[in-house]
Amino acid sequence: MTEFRHFINGETVEGRSGRYGDVFNPSTGEVAGQVPLASKSEVEGAIAAAESAFADWSRTSVVKRSRVMFKFLELATNERQVLGEMLAVEHGKILSDAIGDVQRGLDVVEFACGIPHFMKGEFSDNVSTNIDMYSMRKPLGVCAGITPFNFPAMVPMWMYAVAIACGNTFVLKPSEKDPSVSLRLAQLLHQAGAPAGVLNVVNGDKEAVDVLLTDRRVKAVSFVGSTAIAQYIYSTATAHGKRCQAMGGAKNHMIIMPDADLDQVTDALIGSAYGSAGERCMAISAAVGVGGVGEEVVRMLKPRVEALKIGPSLDAESEMGPLVTAAHRDKVKGYIDLGVEEGAELVVDGRDFKCNKQGYENGYYFGGCLFDKVRPEMKSYQDEIFGPVLQVLHAEDFDQAIAIPNQHRYGNGTAIFTRDGDAARTFADKVEVGMVGINVPIPVPLAFHTFGGWKDSAFGDMNQHGEAGVRFYTKVKTITSRWPKGIREGAQFVIPTLND
Ligand code: NAD
């Protein structure tokens, strides 16, 4: 059984609070370790370490900071397989998907290697006689990240890779369900040359988070997780004068036009609805068939969902692993029960799935479920389920179809499958969702673009990574400079205006 630690000021340190949480191996159902839940004073210690590291790190040349990122990229890339295994064991997603989780995080590190370009300011020569005006980007200070269980490598790297490259120092509070990868990556960043205190990892729960939200030394908070907590994080952090970006839950729709290639649609739905057991904020969880095509899609999907290979995360045969905890599995089951009660047609029922492989009988497995004839007023449709469940709705035409995601409270991702360029273009223009795929089921933007949903899927106005990430983690200073004559011109009592 692993006893996890924190990583503070360049060292792994034991928890001192006396409070612990269980870390499970969802494939076997066993408790694999105990994670310490940090007390207020332990989090304050991490913030103090980050604050004292800030003075030197923010003055370290931007080229040197970029070189630390290059080295970190190299070290972590060399360990990608091991990191993926670590992650797959604690999370339950299959190994190839877990390695993808690490890789998508490393893509942001790669983006952060180019930070000298993004830190460049603007310069206007001779805006008035002998006066130049220029701007510079400055880091904020100590920044904090609070992250979800479902992308334990990628989401933290969205945040700290950009923040640290910009010259900030960072306190990460990863999910208490799968902390190993963050702890290991912090060691690697340190090994790559980031001085002690630049990245600290404190494990914990609400008690730790509340310190990060209220301590005056923390200047910015990035959060990714469920919507109720995102709202709490956003309102508390901003009330304490911090910048905050808080990403929340999702219900992502795929619109299937009558002219779509249905083989392509079925493949796309199997991967995007059931991959990672549906525990992705960009999973397609609702499909809207237009003009009767939905009936054919359900007919084609049914045998594919029934045939999903569900098993241990490290088993090369598995297409889908278990859910993250028994509690989460029970919650997903509750939503399937609710959908049936509400009158949706359960075409494939995965509630009784059992893994028969020896040693894995007690894992948190759940079979793929497929609902047809789902209606927008159903609560099981309005809520995020976050499990291997696809809900199919039907619309008579394009206008009725696009109204369905537009009226949903969430607006994270969406996709349209069609051969009609006009429908695709109109959809991209009119849909009230932050990230749109055209014949692409999971349109997660690459690191040099930016990730963020709309409506109840995100609070705050700046997205993760890309240029928006750099803007979030820096503040602009604008300098007006006059050499050398102005000094001899005497006092002026009017606001400066342009003259020649
Ligand atoms: P969660 O909201 O339960 O937890 C997220 C983080 O918040 C964890 O670090 C957790 O320890 C902390 N936390 C939990 N309860 C808290 C409380 N009361 N006060 C303060 N902090 C608290 O989310 P999760 O179950 O870990 O992750 C799944 C959710 O994350 C889903 O809703 C999913 O859609 C969402 N998600 C969103 C995105 C996105 O970019 N929009 C990406 C990934 C996941």
Residue nearest ligand 1's atom 42 by CA: 281
Residue ranges of domains in the chain: 2-248+457-479, 252-438
Closest ligand 1 atom to Cα of 249: 34
Closest ligand 1 atom to Cα of 451: 40
- Ligand 1 centre from 85 Cα, in Å? 22
- Mutational test site, ligand 1, from 90, 104, 108, 175, max ligand atoms within 8 Å of CB: 175
- Ligand 1 centre from 107 Cα, in Å? 22
Closest ligand 1 atom to Cα of 233: 20
- Ligand 1 centre from 249 Cα, in Å? 8
- Ligand 1 centre from 499 Cα, in Å? 54
Residue nearest ligand 1's atom 40 by CA: 247
- Mutational test site, ligand 1, from 213, 229, 280, max ligand atoms within 8 Å of CB: 229
- Mutational test site, ligand 1, from 20, 147, 205, max ligand atoms within 8 Å of CB: 205
Q: How high is the pLDDT of residue 500?
A: 59
Token pair recorded at residue 355: 């893994």
| 143 annotated active-site | no
Closest ligand 1 atom to Cα of 176: 11
- Ligand 1 centre from 118 Cα, in Å? 29
Closest ligand 1 atom to Cα of 173: 9
Residue nearest ligand 1's atom 39 by CA: 247
Q: Under a CB-based contact definition with an 8 Å cutoff, are residues 180 and 4 in contact?
A: yes
Q: Decide if 2-248+457-479 and 252-438 have a common fold.
A: no
SS (H, E, C) the chain: CEECCEEECCEEECCCCCCEEEEEECCCCEEEEEEECCCHHHHHHHHHHHHHHHHHHHHCCHHHHHHHHHHHHHHHHHCHHHHHHHHHHHHCCCHHHHHHHHHHHHHHHHHHHCHHHHCCCCEEEEEECCEEEEEEEEECCEEEEECCCCCCCHHHHHHHHHHHHCCCEEEEECCCCCCHHHHHHHHHHHHCCCCCCCEEECCCCHHHHHHHHHCCCEEEEEEECCHHHHHHHHHHHHHCCCEEEEECCCCEEEEECCCCCHHHHHHHHHHHHHHHHHCCCCCEEEEEEECCHHHHHHHHHHHHHHCCCECCCCCCCCCECCCCCHHHHHHHHHHHHHHHHCCCEEEECCCCCCCCCCCCCCCCCCCCEEEECCCCCCHHHHCCCCCCEEEEEEECCHHHHHHHHHHCCEECEEEEECCCHHHHHHHHHHCCCCEEEECCCCCCCCCCCCECCEECCEECCCCECHHHHHHHCEEEEEEEEECCHHHHCCCCCCCCCCCC
Closest ligand 1 atom to Cα of 177: 26
Residue nearest ligand 1's atom 16 by CA: 206
Residue nearest ligand 1's atom 20 by CA: 206
- Ligand 1 centre from 136 Cα, in Å? 34
The CB density around residue 142, as the number of other CB atoms within 10 Å, is 28
**Which of 58, 328, 249, 76 is closest to 167 using CA atoms?**
58
- Mutational test site, ligand 1, from 226, 252, 280, 450, max ligand atoms within 8 Å of CB: 226
Q: How high is the pLDDT of residue 485?
A: 63
- Ligand 1 centre from 345 Cα, in Å? 30
Closest ligand 1 atom to Cα of 412: 41
Residue nearest ligand 1's atom 21 by CA: 206
What residues line ligand 1, using a CB cutoff of 6 Å? 146-151, 155, 173, 175-176, 205-206, 209, 224-226, 229, 232, 247-250, 281, 384, 386, 412, 453, 457
CATH 3.40.309.10: does it fit domain 252-438?
Answer: yes
Residue nearest ligand 1's atom 23 by CA: 225
Active-site position among 113, 281, 355, 369: 281
Name the CATH topology of 2-248+457-479: Aldehyde Dehydrogenase; Chain A, domain 1 (3.40.605)
| Mean pLDDT for back-to-back runs of 10 residues, the chain (500 residues) | 95 98 98 97 98 98 98 98 98 98 98 98 93 97 99 98 99 98 98 98 98 98 98 98 98 98 98 98 98 98 98 98 98 98 98 97 98 98 98 98 98 98 98 98 98 98 96 98 72 77
Model pTM greater than 0.75?
yes
Q: How high is the pLDDT of residue 490?
A: 75
Please list, residue by residue across 456-471, b when 16 or more beta carbons sit within 10 angstroms of its beta carbon and e when fewer do: bbbbbebbbbbebbbb
